[in-house]
Structure 1
Amino acid sequence: MLNWEDNRKLTDLLPEKEAKTIRTTLGYTTAKELLTHYPRTYATHNDTPFLNQANDGDIVTCIGEIIHTATIHTKKTTTIYTITIQTTNELIKATFFHAKPHQAAWCERTLTRGTTAIFTGKIKTYRGAPQLQHPDFLLLNTPHPTSTGALKQLTAYGNDTDISNFLTSLPAIPIYPARQRITTWRILGAIHHILDHTNPIPDPLGPFTPPDLPTFDRALRGIHQDGTNAYTYRHRLAYNEALALALVMEIRRHDTTTRHATPLSPHPTGAPHHRETLINNLPYTLTTGQQTIINTIATDLNSPHPMQRLLQGEVGSGKTIIALIAMLQAVENGKQCALLAPTSVLAHQHGHSLTELLTNAGINLTITTLTGDMTPTQKNHALLAIISGDANIIIGTHALIQDTVEFYDLGLVIIDEQHRFGVEQRDSLRTKGKNHTTPHLLVMTATPIPRTIAMTFFGDLNHSTLNELPGGRRPIKSYVVPEYLPKYTTRAYEVMREHIHQGHQIYIVCPRINGPGGVLETHQHLSETEFKNYRIGLLHGQLKDADKDTTMRQFANGDLDILIATTVIEVGIDVPNATIIMIRESENLGVSQLHQLRGRVGRGGYDSICFFHHTAERGTPADKRIWQMAATTDGFQVAEIDLIQRHEGDVLGTSQSGTNRKIAFLNLARDIGLINRANRDAKNIVAHNLDLARQLIAGIDDITQDYLDKS
C-alpha cells in the first residue's frame, strides 16, 4: 500500500524448509507478503490472557514463574507432573503426562520452582478448572535455555540461547494468526529474520509524511517488535490505509474535472417540456426535499463536466421520480439515458412503472429493456433500438455493460442500488459517450451509507439525501417473532389473517428456494395449514420471466392474498395494498437487506407491520441483532448496526480470497477523525504533487476494484 513494495523472494531470505512451509500454508512468496502478516495480539513478560476468557481448545501463550510442582504416579505406570505458573494476572496450572520414567525425570529436572519460561499450549478444562495440557515451553533467564515443541521451531534461526536472548529482548511477544501446519512461533522467527535483513525503508510519503506519526519504517518494524507501543504503530498503518482510499477518490474527483460532458440545459430551446409536463400531471405533490434535489441535479447536468452524484433515500422516499425527471432533461437535449438495475425483476418493474408514469402524463417516449434472460430475438430488437437512437430510455441489468451494446448518444447513466455494482462496472457505461464525451452519472441507493463509508468509498461523488417520506407514507411497526417463543408465531399468523380480511395483502419472504424453510416447502406447508383457504402466489428466481410477471401482476391487481417469495422482491416491487411482510429466518440475511425488504410495505398510507421471524437461540448475537433491527426504522441507524457488527471487509467488499487483505487496521466505525485527516491530506497531495499521488496508489487502482467495490 502507498507504493511500498518488497518483492524479495522468501526462498532467497529464509531456510529452504521454512520458505516452503510459508508458501504452502500461508501462500506467501515475497517479503512484503510476510511482513504484512500482522500480529493479532501480544503477550508481555508481565501479562497473559485471563484463562476464564479462553475456551477449550484455544491456544494460550503465557510468560511466568513456576511457583509449585507436584508429581503423581498412576496405577497405569503413567507419571503426571503438574506445575503452577504465576503470571501477573492469575495462577495457571500446566500438566505433563509421561509414560516413561526417564521422560518424567527430565521434566522434573527442567521445570523446577523459580524457573521463568514461556509456555504455549491448548486449554483443557479438568474438574471445572482450565489448565494447559502438555504445553511447549522455552526457559528464559537461565544459563542453559531449553525449548520444546513449537518453540523449538525457532532454532531454524539460532540455538536455544539465541532464541532466549531474542525473546527476552522483546517488550512484548507478538502472537500471529497461524494455521494447522505453521505455528505463531515459526511465523515470528521468519518475520524477525527478514526484518534483520531489511534496510531502513524510505517513507513513501516523502515531504508529506505526517510529523506527529512514526515513519513507515518505524511503524512496520514496531508492529512486529514493540508490542507495548502497538497502538501508535497501528495508528500510522491505519492512516496509510485511509490515505490510500482518500487518494484514489481524490484523483478520481480530479480526473472528472478533466473530462468533458455535454451540458444538458433544463430549458433547451425548441424542445418539448417533458419535465414540467410530468411534474404537473403527478397524482401527488413533490416534497421540498425532492424539489431541492431535482434543482441540484438540473444544475449538475448543465455543466460541461460530468455530474457525479450519489442520491441516498429510504425505501419509498421518491428516488425513482427524481431519476425520471433527470432522464427527461437528458431526453429534451436529444440524449439517451441508461438505467442500470441489479436484477431482471427490478429492471422490468422499472420499465413498467416508468412507462405508466409517462403514459399518464401524456408523454410519448420509447423505453427499451435489455436483460440477460431475454431471447436472442428480443435482445436483437433491443440492441437495434439502442444503437439507432429509437430508444430514449434504456433499462437493463449487467447485460447493458457488455461490449456488444452500443449507444446512439448516451448522455446520462443512472445506477440503481449501487451496492450491487463495483466501480469498474459503474464506470464501464461512462466510456460509451459520443465523440469522447463522458455521460453524466447519478448513483442511487436505498441502503443508507454510514458517514465514514460515504467519506471513503464514495469520496468521488457529491452527495444528496432524501430525509422526508412522501405524503401518505406511515412508519412501519416491526416485531420480532423468534422460534423460542412459539406463541409469537401463532399471533403473527392471526394478525396476518386479520389484515387479509380487511382487504389487504401479505408478503412472506424465505431465504432460499429449496430445502427446509425454503420457499417451496413454506408455500406447501402454509397452503395446507395456516392459510388453507386463501389465494397464495409463489415467486422465486428460477421461474420463467412470463410466470414471474404473471404472479406479480396478479398480486399487484389484488388477485392474490399472499405472495410467498424469495428475496427477489427486495427492491422495486410496489404494491400499496400490501400491509404485512414476514421475513422468515431473518438471521440469515444482512440488516441492510432486511431494511430493504421491510420497505416493501407501508407504501399506501395504511398501518403496516414487519415480522422478523428467526430461528437463532435466545441471547445469541444473531438474536440481539434482530431485536436491534426491529427497534429502529432509521436506515442510518441500521447501517451503523451493520457496520459495527460485521467486519469492515465484508461490508465494503474488501476481503479477498487467500491472505492478501488490504484493510487491516482502519476501523470504519471508529476512525472518523483519521478518515477526515486523510481526506484533507489527500487533497493537499493531489493539489501540490499529482505525480506523487498517482505513484502512491500505483497498483491499487489497477487491481482495484475488489478494493473499492461499493458493497
Structure 2
Amino acid sequence: MFATNLDTPLVYLKGVGPKRAELLQKELGISTYEQLLNHYPFRYIDRTRFYKINELNPEMPLVQVVGKIISKEIVGEKQKKRIVAKFADETGTMDLVWFQSLKWVEENVMRGTTYIAFGKPALFGSSFSISHPDLETYPRQTGITGNLTLQPIYHTSEKMKKGFLDSKGIQKLVHHIIELHINEVRETLPSYVLEKYKLISRRDALIHVHFPANTTMLQHAERRLKFEELFFIQLQLLHNKQLRSLKYKGALFNTVGDKVNIFYKTMLPFDLTNAQKRVIKEIRLDTQRGSQMNRLIQGDVGSGKTVVALMSMLLANDNGYQACMMAPTEILARQHYQSLIDLLKGELVNIGILTGNTTKKQRTILHQQLESGEIDILVGTHALIEDKVQFKNLGLVVIDEQHRFGVEQRAKLWRKNVIPPHILVMTATPIPRTLAMTLYGDLDVSVIDELPVGRKPIETLHLYESQRLRMFGFMKQEIAKGRQVYIVYPLIEESKKLDLMHLEAGIEQMRFEFPLPNYQISKVHGQMPNADKQYEMQQFIDGKSQIMVATTVIEVGVNVPNASVMIIENAERFGLSQLHQLRGRVGRGAEQSYCILMSGNKLGPNSKLRLETMVKTNNGFEISEIDLQLRGPGDITGTQQSGVLELKMANLAKDQIILQEARNTVIEIFGKDAMLELPENILLKNYLSKKARAIALDKIS
C-alpha cells in the first residue's frame, strides 16, 4: 500500500532511538513510520481563541494568553523548588509556574520575550496561574503543519510520558515523518471513487488529520479516512462472501417432504407470521442453489426463531441429511431440546442431546446412533465440536447466540462433513444495521420483525427505591391471579465497591414479605452446582414455586409462559441489551406481562436514558441503536468480534451514511468486475492480495 520507506522501523526516526521505539511498540503496537502516520489524534484543542488575563476564570478547561515575561525567579528549596515567572498583558499579570525541567526553563524562557502561554488556569487568592504551560513565541511560525490553530492530541500512556512521549512528543515525531516522507504516500482508492464522493487524496488527508489548517480541511480529512476504512472492510467481507459462494458447494435440499409437511399441517400450534414465512422461503432458496448457505437470522426475544430453525432442520432431514443445533450454555441447549420435543410431540424425527453432563454410557450410544444416521437432529453445547462426535451426513448447522462462540469453535462443526453443511446463525440480540453490515457483512441477513399472533406487548414500569412497597403489592396481586414472578439481581454477594442489594439479602426480604406456606421461592445463580440449578428451575417451571430470585443466569434459556412479571433490581447497573433480554423472559403466554425496573433514587444521565428507553419501547432494534450510541460497538459485541471493530477513524454509531456509501460502492464494483480484472481496479486487487487471509474452513463469520 505504501512505498518501502514508510515500512522503515521507527528506531531510525530522528528523536526515537531503541528505548522509545520499544515503548511505542509495547504501549501502542506501533513499530513503523506507516503505523505512526496511522495513529490519528483522538481530539483537537482549538487554538484560535485568545483570552486576556482579566477574562480568566478557574472553571475554564484550557486557555491561551498572549503576554510578556516581565520577571522570573527560583522559589523554595529541594522538593519545593520551582520557577515562577510574572506574565503580563495590557489587562493585568499572572504567574507561570514550573516544578520540573527547571534547568531547561532557566535557559530557554527569556525575560522581555512575548509568548503564547497555554494551559489550565488556577486561582490562588486573587491571582491566576498556569502550571507547566505550553509556551510558543509570538507570532507563531508557520510551516507544513499549518499554524496549529487546531492542536492534535494523541493517545499515550504513563510509561510513554516518562519517556518523553507525551502527546506533544508524538506530534513532533509525526511532524518529522510528514516533512520527510509525505510524498511517498501512495493512493489506495481508485480515482473514480475519489471523484464520485469528492474525496481528497490520501496524502492530503494524512497531512490534515494530523495538522489541520482549519476545521473544513479537518472534516475533509476525516471523511476521506473514514470512507477508506469502511470501504476496505466491506471489500474484504463481500470478496469473502463471493469467494465462498463460488468455492464451496452446498447440499441440495430440493424436496419438501413428509416431515416438513406433516409438522406444518398437523403439529404447528399457531400460524406462522409473515416474517417467519419470508425467512423460511429465503432459507429454501439458499439451500437449492448448490452453494453453501451462510445466513444470519435476527429476531427479537419471542419472535419465533426456534420454529424457523426446526422447519429448516426438518427440511434437511427430508433430503436425507442430519442437522445439529449448538447453544452456548447447557440451560439454553436443554431449553431448545425440550422445545423441539414439545413441538414435535416426540414424533417424526429422532432428537438427541449432548452436553458436558452427558454420561459416558449415554455418549457411547449417542455416537453410534449419530454415525449410523439414527439421530436426525442433535442439540448440544460446545460438546458438539469434539472430534469424537461424527455424523453420518451432516447437512445443516444451527448456531444460537453465535457471538458467544469463537471462530475456531464454530469452524469445527463446519468440518464434520465432506460437503460443508449449510450454516444458520441465530441471535436474539438485535444488532444495529451498521453493526450487522460490518460484523456480518459476509452473511445473508434475515430479520424476523413480527411477534406471533396473540402476544401482548410487555408493559414496562420504572420505580424508585422509595416505591418498593408499591412493587410488593403488585407482586402479590399477580401471584393471587396464579401468575409467577422473576426477580433478578446483579450480584450474588455483598460488594464493598457497589452499593447494591445483593441476591442473598433479596431472598431474606422476599421471605419476610412472602412467608411460607403461601409462597414458595426458587433461587438460581451461576455459582450453584448444575444439579441444584436444574432442580430450582424445574420447581419454577412446574409451578411449584411462585417466585424465582436469580442473577442474570436466566437471561437466556428459561421459557415459562405462566411467568408474567419480571422485576430487575438495580436496573441502572445493567446495559440496555441485557435489560431487553431479561424482559424477554416474560410475555410468552397469552396473559398481559409486566417488567418493573427498580433503581436507586439518584440516576446519572446515561442510566436515566437507558431506563426511559426501556419504558418507551419494546422494539429491540430501536433499543440496539440507542445502545450503540451509548456504549459503542466493541462493548455490544464483546471480545469475540472485537478484531473486526478496531476502527481507527470511523464510528459505527455516527458514520452510518459513509458506511452505506462504502458498501454500495463495493457492491457496484463487484457487480461490474467480479474478479477485479479491469485496470482501474488494480489497486483493489493488490490490496486483497496483500491482505489475503485464506478463506478456508475456519472462516464462518
Structure 2 residue 486 is matched with structure 1 residue 507: yes
How far is the alpha carbon of 1:650 from its aligned partner? 2.5
How far is the alpha carbon of 1:540 from its aligned partner? 2.1
Q: d(CA) in 1 for partners of 2:399 and 2:525?
A: 24
How far is the alpha carbon of 1:709 from its aligned partner? 10
Partner of residue 173, structure 1: 151
Q: d(CA) in 2 for partners of 1:508 and 1:127?
A: 55
How far is the alpha carbon of 1:614 from its aligned partner? 3.0
Q: How does 1:698-709 map to 2 (within 5 A)?
A: 702=693
How far is the alpha carbon of 1:416 from its aligned partner? 1.4
Contact 1:117 / 1:139 at 8 angstroms: preserved in 2?
yes
TM-score using structure 2 length: 0.84
Q: d(CA) in 1 for partners of 2:645 and 2:35?
A: 10
Change (3 A) 1:294 1:276: farther
How far is the alpha carbon of 1:7 from its aligned partner? 3.5
Contact 2:66 / 2:138 at 8 angstroms: preserved in 1?
no
How far is the alpha carbon of 1:208 from its aligned partner? 5.6
Change (3 A) 1:109 1:365: closer
Q: d(CA) in 2 for partners of 1:704 and 1:614?
A: 48
Q: 2:417 corresponds to which letter in structure 1? A: G
Change (3 A) 1:274 1:686: closer
Change (3 A) 1:36 1:127: farther
Q: Choose from 252, 268, 279 the match for 1:263.
A: 252
Contact 1:61 / 1:118 at 8 angstroms: preserved in 2?
no
Q: Choose from 391, 395, 408 the match for 1:407.
A: 391
Change (3 A) 1:96 1:5: closer
How far is the alpha carbon of 1:25 from its aligned partner? 4.3
Q: d(CA) in 2 for partners of 1:334 and 1:384?
A: 18
Change (3 A) 1:690 1:118: farther
Q: How does 1:248-397 map to 2 (within 5 A)?
A: 248-258=236-246, 259-268=248-257, 272-359=258-345, 363-397=347-381
Q: d(CA) in 1 for partners of 2:622 and 2:245?
A: 34
Q: How does 1:299-698 map to 2 (within 5 A)?
A: 299-359=285-345, 363-422=347-406, 425-434=409-418, 437-482=419-464, 486-516=465-495, 517=500, 520-533=503-516, 534-615=519-600, 617-653=602-638, 662-687=646-671, 688=673, 690=675, 693=684, 695-697=686-688
RMSD: 4.1
Q: 1:29 corresponds to which letter in structure 2? A: S
Q: 1:233 corresponds to which letter in structure 2? A: A
How far is the alpha carbon of 1:560 from its aligned partner? 0.6
Q: How does 1:72-87 map to 2 (within 5 A)?
A: 81=85, 83=87
Q: d(CA) in 2 for partners of 1:655 and 1:83?
A: 54
Q: Choose from 180, 192, 195 the match for 2:175.
A: 192
Q: d(CA) in 2 for partners of 1:610 and 1:237?
A: 44
How far is the alpha carbon of 1:525 from its aligned partner? 2.2
Change (3 A) 1:456 1:591: same
Partner of residue 135, structure 2: 138
Q: d(CA) in 2 for partners of 1:320 and 1:303?
A: 24
Unaligned runs of 5+ in 2: 677-681
Residues 304-359 of structure 1 show CA distances to partners (whole Å, capped at 9, x for unaligned) of 12223222222111111111111111111111112121211100111111112112
Change (3 A) 1:284 1:98: closer
How far is the alpha carbon of 1:587 from its aligned partner? 2.8
Change (3 A) 1:132 1:537: farther
Q: d(CA) in 2 for partners of 1:423 and 1:2?
A: 31
Change (3 A) 1:399 1:587: farther
Q: d(CA) in 2 for partners of 1:429 and 1:35?
A: 41
Contact 1:139 / 1:164 at 8 angstroms: preserved in 2?
no
Q: 2:463 corresponds to which letter in structure 1? A: V
Q: d(CA) in 2 for partners of 1:192 and 1:236?
A: 20
Change (3 A) 1:604 1:408: same
Paired residue secondary structure (2:184): coil
Partner of residue 211, structure 2: 225
Q: 1:303 corresponds to which letter in structure 2? A: R
Q: d(CA) in 1 for partners of 2:5 and 2:389?
A: 39
Instruction: Report the identity percentage.
Output: 33
Contact 1:401 / 1:429 at 8 angstroms: preserved in 2?
yes
Contact 1:116 / 1:140 at 8 angstroms: preserved in 2?
yes
Change (3 A) 1:655 1:538: closer
How far is the alpha carbon of 1:394 from its aligned partner? 1.4
Q: d(CA) in 1 for partners of 2:117 and 2:645?
A: 31
Q: 2:539 corresponds to which letter in structure 1? A: Q
Contact 1:43 / 1:63 at 8 angstroms: preserved in 2?
no
Q: d(CA) in 1 for partners of 2:110 and 2:270?
A: 86
Paired residue secondary structure (2:151): strand
How far is the alpha carbon of 1:601 from its aligned partner? 0.7
Contact 1:266 / 1:302 at 8 angstroms: preserved in 2?
no
How far is the alpha carbon of 1:592 from its aligned partner? 1.2
Partner of residue 19, structure 1: 21
Q: How does 1:10-159 map to 2 (within 5 A)?
A: 10-14=10-14, 15-16=16-17, 17-47=19-49, 62-66=63-67, 81=85, 83=87, 95-97=95-97, 110=110, 115-120=114-119, 122=120, 124=122, 133-141=130-138
How far is the alpha carbon of 1:217 from its aligned partner? 2.4
Residues 276-315 of structure 1 show CA distances to partners (whole Å, capped at 9, x for unaligned) of 3354222322223323332332232233122232222221
Change (3 A) 1:676 1:548: same
Change (3 A) 1:316 1:202: same
Q: d(CA) in 2 for partners of 1:620 and 1:369?
A: 46
Q: d(CA) in 2 for partners of 1:390 and 1:608?
A: 41
Paired residue secondary structure (1:369): strand
Residues 65-95 of structure 1 show CA distances to partners (whole Å, capped at 9, x for unaligned) of 1289799999999996554679xxxx99863
How far is the alpha carbon of 1:489 from its aligned partner? 2.0
Mean Cα deviation higher: 401-410 or 321-330: 401-410
Contact 2:71 / 2:111 at 8 angstroms: preserved in 1?
no
How far is the alpha carbon of 1:243 from its aligned partner? 1.0
Partner of residue 150, structure 1: none
Residues 243-271 of structure 1 show CA distances to partners (whole Å, capped at 9, x for unaligned) of 12211221122123212111112435xxx
How far is the alpha carbon of 1:530 from its aligned partner? 2.6
The size of the alignment, in residue pairs, is 667
Q: d(CA) in 2 for partners of 1:704 and 1:478?
A: 46
Q: 2:66 corresponds to which letter in structure 1? A: E
Unaligned runs of 5+ in 1: 146-162
Q: d(CA) in 1 for partners of 2:109 and 2:239?
A: 66
Q: d(CA) in 2 for partners of 1:80 and 1:420?
A: 58
How far is the alpha carbon of 1:501 from its aligned partner? 1.6
Contact 1:3 / 1:698 at 8 angstroms: preserved in 2?
no
TM-score using structure 1 length: 0.83
